[in-house]
Chain A
Amino acid sequence: MWKKLVRNPVSLLGLILVIFFIFVALAAPWLAPPRYPDEPYRIPRYGWSSTPRPPSPEHPFGLTQGQYDIYYGIVWGTRTAFRVGLIVVGASCLIGIIVGSVSAYYGGRLDEVLMRIVDIFLSFPFLIAAVVLTTILGKGLDKVMIAMVAFGWMGYARLMRGSIMAIKQEEYVLAAKACGVRDFKIILRHILPNSIFPVLIQASMSLGSVVITASSLSFLGVGAPEGYADWGQMISFARNWLLGTAGNPLEYWYTVIYPGLAIVLFVLAWNLIGDAFRDILDPKIRA
């Protein structure tokens, strides 16, 4: 599997990017020593002026609106991104897999009820529902995550259910039954391995997009509290400085480019890895 990942240049790029982000997240205390050791996610400020300041030797990525250090925000924001991505995707995936499996396995009326619940949840526009729920629950990154899980598990449930229903019909499941393999073992050996991969691939691909959504929520102001190391918020700071001044539209480029680049690369990395997983996990594409 590693060989496959490394051999394909595209998936290699994804892998390198993910490893790079993992490194940054782990090494954050050394890359950007926190000024407040008890609150490492609080971005240090270097003044109170709202006008951003360009990169300098002390602040390699410059200072954004409110004199927050962009470099520090991005380094510690990597941890935030991983935390949000993994928790949201992990939790929605788990809920989805359980709901989907129960639905497909028991079928009948339970299936009907669960799928109607899925329909109800799906009928809300995701971003609006998340904004509303976050507003009700209150500001904070954990609330954002709860809201995103609450409206993010349905896709996985659908995928899992459909996939199990399809696999259940396969003759190799019948063949295993005809051999006297026990039900539990059939589920474990034939049904789950053949049905769970679409869900896992979907999960690895959405790790990136979840971070984008969390960033959009932060951008809209319902996410992390002000000054919290979060890429979305960094872009939100840049909102007023996108156009620069008359005659020099790119004057404040650093306020948007650095956090934007971080988000783009993070999402790209997970998408590439997701694609690579799909190819590797499909036995038909095995060389």
Chain B
Amino acid sequence: MPDMHMRRNEGRKMATGATEAAIELRSTGESRNRSRGNPGTGDKEEVLLEVRGLKKYFPILGGLFRRPVGYARAVDGVDFYIRRGETLGLVGESGSGKTTAGMCILHLIEPTAGKIRFNRDGEFIEVNSRTVRSLRRSMQIIFQDPYSSLDPRMMVQDIIAEPLEAQGVRSRRERYERVEELLNAVGMSSQHMRRFPHEFSGGQRQRIGIARALALNPSLIVCDEPVSALDVSVQAQVLNLLDDLQERFGLTYLFIAHDLSVVQHVSDRVAVMYLGKIVEIADVEELFNNPRHPYTEALFSAIPVPDPDFQYKQIILEGDVPSPIDPPPGCNFHPRCRYARAICSKEEPVLREVGGDGHLAACHFADDLVLMGVWGPGIAQTG
């Protein structure tokens, strides 16, 4: 057994080109330990953002008069917090509500219910439509699609200067000086200022988007799949850039992604979403070594291993993700779960502490099941 896990681990190191290159630059496996052991960005335990019971239901309009005939529960009661200076990865399949959750935090979508509190200089401010304008300085977003996130009719200097202008930097010269600074920070130069977005490659455009997000010196950046639209070789560059910027400016990231190898590389902690709910949340190594939710296990088993001799023990989930309009009773995951029992279709499991150290899972049998992680039990300690 250990042998197989070792193989698997090695395989993962070589997984995608992106992670490979990124890991090399980060001197392998322990990258995250280093940054966690060395705070440098203030008290690691300080909570920067707290989300409680966040819900977003989208009405489904039907009939002649466009009345709501149902609701799609894109986000259905999500709780989590992010500590200052850390990266919280948010993973899940498409349609699991990750992006909606991110947008709700920034109030780009009005949440249906729930409280979001943001820690500004030690004082918790509730994010709502009244306070959000003043909080825009502190919270920013990087979008998934670098082709749609930059206005094609604006020059790079005006795109990056837009947040400065909106937040009251009056002098044009001052704004452009800052733009120059920001372009340098993201590895571009001031000669790009007077060009239009279409003159740049995807990776460069994403850098421009990052510069715009940085313009106001935010403390939290929601990264909404920032690399999934990019070429694998460019992914690594952008991930490293994000990492450097985090260190330099003491940023906190909510990193939304579906690529597990990317999430594993960048995150300190990871939350797994399924059908609008968080099913498991833990420190990255703990989660990858020792998943406690059957869905997390199934996700991990889907990570490809580039080794022709590797014997897959993939867990193939049956059926589709249920519709968020009419989620199954009890545990959302029970129709596809191979460990499901009678209770699973009746009672909804709560997200509760399992095994200490902030490891939470929403499964009735989280304490009893022995699930297979990516690195397998026993491997992480040795290597």
Residue of A nearest to B133 (CB): A180
CA distance A104 to B108 in the complex (A): 19
Q: Is the CB of A194 within 8 A of B151?
A: yes
Residues of B within 8 A of A283 (CB): 152-153, 196, 198
A246 interface residue, CB < 8 Å from B? no
Within 8 A of B (CB), among A97-139: 108-109, 112
- A174-B141, A181-B163 known, 15 other contacts, Cβ within 8 Å: A109-B65, A109-B66, A171-B143, A171-B149, A172-B159, A174-B108, A174-B143, A175-B143, A175-B212, A178-B106, A178-B108, A178-B139, A180-B136, A182-B166, A194-B151
CA distance A286 to B197 in the complex (A): 12
**Interface 1/0 per residue, A171-205 and B, CB below 8 Å:** 11011111111100100001001100000000000
B148 interface residue, CB < 8 Å from A? yes
Minimum-distance CB pairs A-B, first 5: A179-B163, A180-B136, A171-B149, A181-B166, A171-B148
A7 interface residue, CB < 8 Å from B? no
Q: Is the CB of B163 within 8 A of A180?
A: yes
Within 8 A of A (CB), among B161-203: 162-163, 165-167, 196, 198
Give the one of A112, A170, A175, A176 with max B CB within 10 A: A175
A-B contact pairs, 24 of them (CB 8 A): A108-B66, A109-B66, A112-B66, A171-B149, A172-B149, A172-B150, A174-B141, A174-B149, A178-B106, A178-B140, A178-B141, A179-B162, A179-B163, A179-B216, A180-B137, A180-B166, A181-B163, A190-B151, A193-B153, A194-B152, A194-B153, A283-B152, A284-B152, A286-B196
Interface size on B, residues (CB 8 A): 32
- List B residues at the A interface (Cβ < 8 Å): 65-66, 103, 106, 108, 133, 136-137, 139-141, 143-145, 148-153, 159, 162-163, 165-167, 196, 198, 209, 212, 215-216
CA distance A112 to B215 in the complex (A): 40
Residue of A nearest to B64 (CB): A112
Q: Is the CB of B136 within 8 A of A178?
A: yes
CA distance A257 to B159 in the complex (A): 54
- List A residues at the B interface (Cβ < 8 Å): 108-109, 112, 170-172, 174-182, 185, 190, 193-194, 283-284, 286
Residues of A within 8 A of B166 (CB): 176, 179-182, 185
Q: Is the CB of B136 within 8 A of A175?
A: no
Residues of B within 8 A of A193 (CB): 153
Q: Chain B nearest CB: distance from A117 CB in Å?
A: 16
Q: Is the CB of B198 within 8 A of A175?
A: no
Q: Is the CB of A172 within 8 A of B148?
A: yes
A interface: dominant SS: helix
Residue of A nearest to B67 (CB): A109
Q: Chain B nearest CB: distance from A114 CB in Å?
A: 13
Residues of B within 8 A of A178 (CB): 106, 108, 136, 139-141
Q: Is the CB of A179 within 8 A of B66?
A: no
Q: Is the CB of B153 within 8 A of A180?
A: no
CA distance A179 to B150 in the complex (A): 13
Q: Chain B nearest CB: distance from A197 CB in Å?
A: 9
CA distance A63 to B185 in the complex (A): 76
Q: Is the CB of B152 within 8 A of A175?
A: no
Cβ-defined partner of A175 (8 Å) among B149, B167, B196: B149
CA distance A127 to B162 in the complex (A): 48
CA distance A181 to B167 in the complex (A): 8
CA distance A208 to B343 in the complex (A): 73
Residues of B within 8 A of A180 (CB): 133, 136-137, 163, 166-167
CA distance A284 to B200 in the complex (A): 11
